[in-house]
Amino acid sequence: MNLIDTTAAPAAGARAPVEIAAPLAARRADAKRSLAGLDRAGLAAALAEIGVSEREQRMRVAQLWHWIYLRGALSFDEMTNVGKGLREKLGAAFTLDRPEVVVEQVSNDGTRKWLLRLPPDIDGDKPHDVEMVYIPESDRGTLCVSSQVGCTLNCSFCHTGTQRLVRNLTAAEIVLQVMVARDRLGDYPGRDRAVGPGLPTEGDRLVTNIVFMGMGEPLYAYDSVAKSIEVLADGEGLGIGKRRITVSTSGVVPEIEKLGREVGPMLAISLHAVRDELRDELVPINKKYPLKVLLEACRTYPPASNAKRITFEYVMLKGVNDSPADAKALVKLLAGIPAKINLIPFNPWPGTKYECSDWETIEQFSDIVFRAGYSSPVRTPRGRDILAACGQLKSETEKLSARERLALRAMAAAAE
């Protein structure tokens, strides 16, 4: 099923989805392997496969790294400092292909959504579709990426949770999401940089921040996520520093400490409730790792400090978790943790039993949180339009409404 319905009428403010005719499209599943997205060890192994000696590999890996990640090379021919013979060998054995972009949607405010198609694991199977979103602001551009196809955790308000898990993405598939976004935006030196309303005007990069808030639970795809962050953050390549990469988790406690110690990105916690009884229902992993242990893991998260706060995401569900008493309890619960609070208006989906809180309720909640010293992105006047979240983009949200764009911004605020 094509999850972005290209026949749907575009929402106000959004251009109709555009079918991409192919230069960046990946080849068939049986085609040559792409080196794009691999880490240094993966590149070295590929070089070994075509007979590059161990002695030479280090230098060649550095060259490939530079061309692939710093320059965004799309073919080996661009690699002018690599000898012609090796370029030909590389080209005969490998490609630099990206996943196929099946739909691109551009809104008037610069927000972009792409649907990527990953080849099926077994020939003849259905391909996997992964959606990502680019949320531009004047001083930065945030890309929301996925870590899994589907999700095994059944958070009751989340549409992804209703989908059958297909699989974890590989590290390369995560890195490739960022590379595709940069391809489409011309965000490499010497490329035709995208222009248009809403795009960042400050700085020389269009993709400056990454949030793992697309499909899937990143800490269940720990190895891929950890490895992908090392590639994304590498200063000789894509160069998106770990302070600008935020991993959002529903609360897989053992992996939180490990992520902090081994990788050290920014952390976002999908909190959504201040009592175990309610959180058990909304975020069922809470039964395994209840609030007390989750908050302890936050308190001791290695990279956290006042300058590097943990974001607590709180989805506003009408009559469920949105009372003034909840707001007060939230502030109390987070005392002593270097925290930011992101109130996310609930984005309804067909069949859900929840509704989004009224705007007045959100404002009241936000006031209490604000008075306790936390600013909240939904407090902007544009916040009145409300909503949507990239957590369940691959659902019915083919139309990019003003409400949706706004909520995407609320989520992107985790990457501030």
By CB under 6 A, residue 395 contacts ligand SF4:
no
Provide CB contacts within 8 A for 216, sequence distance 6+: 146, 147, 148, 149, 150, 151, 160, 168, 169
Rounded Cα distance between 240 and 400, Å, is 27
415/207 Cα distance (integer angstroms): 12
- Residue span binding ligand SF4 (CB under 6 A) among the ranges 24-32, 155-163, 201-209, 375-383: 155-163
Per annotation, catalytic residue among 173, 255, 390, 416: 390
Answer for which of 95, 146, 147, 160 binds ligand SF4 (CB under 6 A) is 160
Tell me the per-residue interface mask from 251 to 280 with ligand SF4, x by CB under 6 A, - otherwise.
Answer: -------------------x----------
Contact 224, 218 (CB under 8 A): no
What single-letter amino acid sits at 328? K
Minimum CB–partner distance for residue 57 and ligand SAH (Å): 37
- State which H helix or E strand residue 293 sits in: helix 291-299
| C-alpha–C-alpha distance, residues 96 and 76, integer Å | 8
Q: CB neighbours of 88 closer than 8 A, spacing ≥ 6?
A: none
Write down the least CB distance from residue 388 to ligand SAH, Å.
7
State the nearest-atom distance from the C-beta of 297 to ligand SAH, in Å.
14
Q: Which does 389 bind (CB under 5 to 8 A by kind): ligand SF4, ligand SAH, none?
A: ligand SAH
In 3D space, the residue among 273, 305, 302 whose CA is nearest the CA of residue 156 turns out to be: 273
Instruction: Please identify which of the residues 131, 173, 398, 416 carries the catalytic annotation.
Output: 131
DSSP-based three-state secondary structure for 213: coil
Identify which range of 83-91, 114-122, 157-165, 293-301 contacts ligand SF4 by CB under 6 A.
157-165
**Strand 245-249 with 266-270, pairing:** parallel
Among 151, 247, 331, 362, binds ligand SF4 (CB under 6 A): 151
Residue 298 appears among annotated catalytic residues? no
Q: Please report how close the Cβ of residue 353 comes to ligand SAH at its closest, in angstroms.
A: 12
Q: Is 250 in the site for ligand SF4 (CB under 6 A)?
A: yes
- Say whether 390 is catalytic: yes
Binding-site member from 11, 38, 155, 271 for ligand SF4 (CB under 6 A) = 155
The reply on whether position 153 binds ligand SF4 by CB under 6 A is yes
Listed in sequence order, the residues at least 6 apart from 271 whose beta carbon sits closer than 8 Å to its beta carbon are: 279, 312, 313, 314, 330
For residue 341, give both structure tokens.
């609070």
Judged by beta carbon distances under 5 to 8 A according to partner kind, the member of ligand SF4, ligand SAH, none in contact with residue 344 is ligand SAH
Cβ proximity to ligand SAH: between 159 and 340 the closer is 159
Q: What is the largest CA-CA distance in the chain?
A: 70
Task: Say if residues 212 and 250 touch (Cβ distance below 8 Å).
Answer: no
Provide the minimum distance between the beta carbon of 360 and ligand SAH in the complex, in angstroms, as a whole number.
19
Residues in the chain: 416
The residue ranges that bind ligand SAH (CB under 6 A) are 155, 157-159, 213, 217, 248-250, 270, 313, 315, 344, 346-347, 389, 391-392
Active site (catalytic) residues? 131, 390
What is the binding site for ligand SF4 (CB under 6 A)? Answer: 151, 153, 155, 158, 160-161, 216-217, 250, 270, 391
